[in-house]
Amino acid sequence: MSPAKVTLSPKELELVTDAGWILTKNGVIRKVYTLFGQLSEVYKNELEKYPTLVWQQDDFRSPKIAKGEQYEGLPWVILDHPRHFTSTDCFAIRSFFWWGKFCSITLQLSGSYQERYAGPIQKYFDSDKKTGEWFIGTNDDPWQHHFEEDNYQPIENRKERSFLQLPFLKIAKKIPLHEWDGLPVFFEENYREILKMLGAV
pLDDT > 70 fraction of the chain, expressed in percent and rounded: 91
Nearby residues of 7 by Cβ (< 8 Å), 6 or more positions away: none
pLDDT at 46 exceeding the cut of 60: yes
Nearby residues of 147 by Cβ (< 8 Å), 6 or more positions away: 102, 104, 135, 172, 174
For residue range 56-97, list pLDDT tens digits in order: 566 666 899 999 999 999 999 999 999 989 889 999 999 999
Judge contact between 92 and 79, C-beta under 8 A: no
Structure pTM?
A: 0.91
- The closest of 119, 66, 72 to 96, measured between CA atoms, is 66
pLDDT given for residue 108 in this prediction? 97
- The closest of 139, 84, 144 to 114, measured between CA atoms, is 84
- Widest CA span in the chain: 70
Domain boundaries of the chain, sorted by first residue: 10-197
pLDDT at 163 exceeding the cut of 60: yes
* Terminal-to-terminal C-alpha distance of the chain: 70
pLDDT > 90 fraction of the chain, expressed in percent and rounded: 71
Asked if residue 184 has a cis previous peptide bond (ω within 30° of 0), the answer is no
For residue range 120-133, list pLDDT tens digits in order: 999 998 876 565 69
Provide the pLDDT confidence category of residue 2 given band limits of 50, 70 and 90.
low
Higher pLDDT, 47 or 111: 111
Alpha helices in the chain (DSSP H): 10-16, 19-47, 58-61, 112-126, 183-197
